[in-house]
């Protein structure tokens, strides 16, 4: 099929081409880097060339059956939905819990023969992370998938909360994530069998919550850490994803907003879990499940770009800075997203 290419396609191809050229000295010469700077003044529209390969990292966990997953806060809500989806796909599943009374009801939702275990684990406890990994290794061998899902939904305004309120939210929603990464990434590198880290952020990690400034800030941080890790780990066998759901039917939502929670308007947690599984299998950097937020995201991205002053800039400064601040994950991700996909679940 000879489909006509859109302007966006052509722009992507051009960036990939330039990115490829930028990797070689010959390419730099062809672009006239250095020599051209004196002749051609920098200005709007002459962006520095980002160094990227235009090639997505192959999915490290395309095959999940028989591999082992750990889900923080895995015995309720979205975490439980993820645990069920992973167990249905044949993974060994370890659910972290902090409330004993929530374990038995959660285990009842699994099918006979599925390998599911619950382990007590508080994500803010650093020594606890070391013990947890040792316990998982003892029971199932290597760990392959870390799901940072535990979270507290502090619906408090950033303008009103005190420092202790910030500490509590940051401790679970952000510190809990890097505590886990610090322990699991060395293990993933050591076994080299392919591994993945997926973190449950929120649509609040893309768009500020009207009365949830604290939550928003922690969920933006959750997005940032997964993007940074994707960039750093691109040439390893470790993938990363950030899951940004809108409303999912959990107790959390019911207690936070009875009006919303009482209606079956929210997504079923198992569906959310299946969407996470699909994202892991495909090594998606961003896993979105609620397309209704796209216009809001568009407005935010547009506002950010519209805020960049249309001024010329010193090319030498741009070159110096782009050695530190290029954007390697995004062009590969755009190429990756052009691959046709039959489903976004499972």
Ligand X SMILES: NC(=O)c1ccc[n+]([C@@H]2O[C@H](COP(=O)([O-])OP(=O)(O)OC[C@H]3O[C@@H](n4cnc5c(N)ncnc54)[C@H](O)[C@@H]3O)[C@@H](O)[C@H]2O)c1
* Sites of contact with ligand X (CB under 6 A): 72-73, 75-79, 96, 98-99, 122-124, 149-153, 172, 200, 202, 245, 247-248, 250-253
Residue closer to ligand X by CB (options 131, 338) is 131
- Minimum distance from CB of 269 to ligand X (Å)? 7
For 137-149, give the DSSP string. HHHHSS--EEEE-
Query: Rounded distance, CA 334 to CA 258, Å?
Result: 38
Residue closer to ligand X by CB (options 151, 332) is 151
- Minimum distance from CB of 131 to ligand X (Å)? 14
CA angle 251, 252, 258 (to 5 degrees): 80
Residue closer to ligand X by CB (options 16, 76) is 76
Residue closer to ligand X by CB (options 52, 227) is 227
Whether the CB-CB separation of 69 and 93 falls below 8 Å is answered with: yes
Whether the CB-CB separation of 332 and 53 falls below 8 Å is answered with: yes
Residue closer to ligand X by CB (options 220, 330) is 220
Residue closer to ligand X by CB (options 13, 167) is 167
What phi, psi does 8 have (nearest 5°)? -65, -40
For 62-97, give the DSSP string. S--TT-EEEETTTTSHHHHHHHHHHHHTT-EEEEEE
- Minimum distance from CB of 190 to ligand X (Å)? 25
- Minimum distance from CB of 254 to ligand X (Å)? 9
Go through the chain and tell me how many residues it has: 346
For 235-287, give the DSSP string. TTTEEEEEEE---B--HHHHHH-HHHHHSTTSBPHHHHHHHHHHHHHHT-SEE
Residue closer to ligand X by CB (options 213, 245) is 245
Q: Edge-to-edge strand order for the sheet containing 68-71?
A: 116-120, 92-97, 68-71, 145-148, 195-200, 238-244, 286-288
- Minimum distance from CB of 180 to ligand X (Å)? 10
- Minimum distance from CB of 99 to ligand X (Å)? 6
- Minimum distance from CB of 191 to ligand X (Å)? 24
């Amino acid at each position: 099929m000879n489909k006509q290419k859109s302007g966006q396609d052509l722009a992507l191809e051009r960036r990939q081409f330039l990115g490829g050229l930028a990797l070689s000295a010959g390419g730099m010469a062809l672009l006239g880097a250095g020599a051209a700077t004196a002749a051609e003044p920098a200005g709007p529209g002459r962006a520095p060339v980002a160094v990227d390969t235009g090639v997505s990292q192959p999915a490290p966990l395309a095959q999940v059956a028989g591999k082992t997953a750990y889900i923080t806060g895995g015995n309720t809500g979205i975490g439980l939905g993820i645990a069920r989806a992973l167990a249905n796909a044949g993974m060994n599943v370890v659910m972290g819990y902090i409330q004993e009374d929530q374990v038995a009801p959660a285990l009842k939702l699994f099918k006979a023969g599925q390998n599911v275990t619950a382990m007590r684990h508080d994500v803010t406890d650093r020594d606890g992370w070391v013990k947890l990994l040792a316990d998982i290794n003892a029971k199932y061998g290597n760990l392959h998938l870390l799901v940072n899902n535990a979270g507290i939904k502090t619906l408090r305004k950033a303008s009103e909360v005190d420092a202790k309120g910030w500490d509590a939210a940051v401790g679970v929603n952000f510190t809990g994530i890097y505590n886990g990464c610090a322990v699991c990434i060395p293990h993933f590198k050591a076994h080299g069998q392919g591994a993945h880290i997926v973190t449950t952020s929120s649509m609040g990690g893309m768009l500020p919550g009207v009365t949830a400034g604290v939550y928003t800030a922690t969920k933006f941080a959750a997005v940032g850490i997964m993007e940074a890790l994707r960039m750093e780990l691109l040439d390893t066998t470790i993938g990363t994803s950030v899951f940004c759901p809108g409303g999912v039917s959990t107790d959390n939502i019911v207690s936070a907003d009875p009006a919303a929670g009482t209606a079956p308007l929210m997504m079923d947690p198992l569906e959310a879990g299946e969407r996470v599984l699909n994202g892991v299998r495909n090594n998606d950097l961003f896993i979105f499940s609620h397309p209704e937020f796209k216009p809001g995201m568009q407005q935010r991205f547009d506002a950010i770009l519209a805020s960049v002053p249309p001024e010329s800039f010193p090319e030498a400064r741009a070159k110096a800075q782009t050695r530190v601040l290029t954007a390697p994950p995004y062009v590969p991700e755009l190429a990756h997203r052009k691959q046709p996909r039959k489903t976004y679940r499972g």
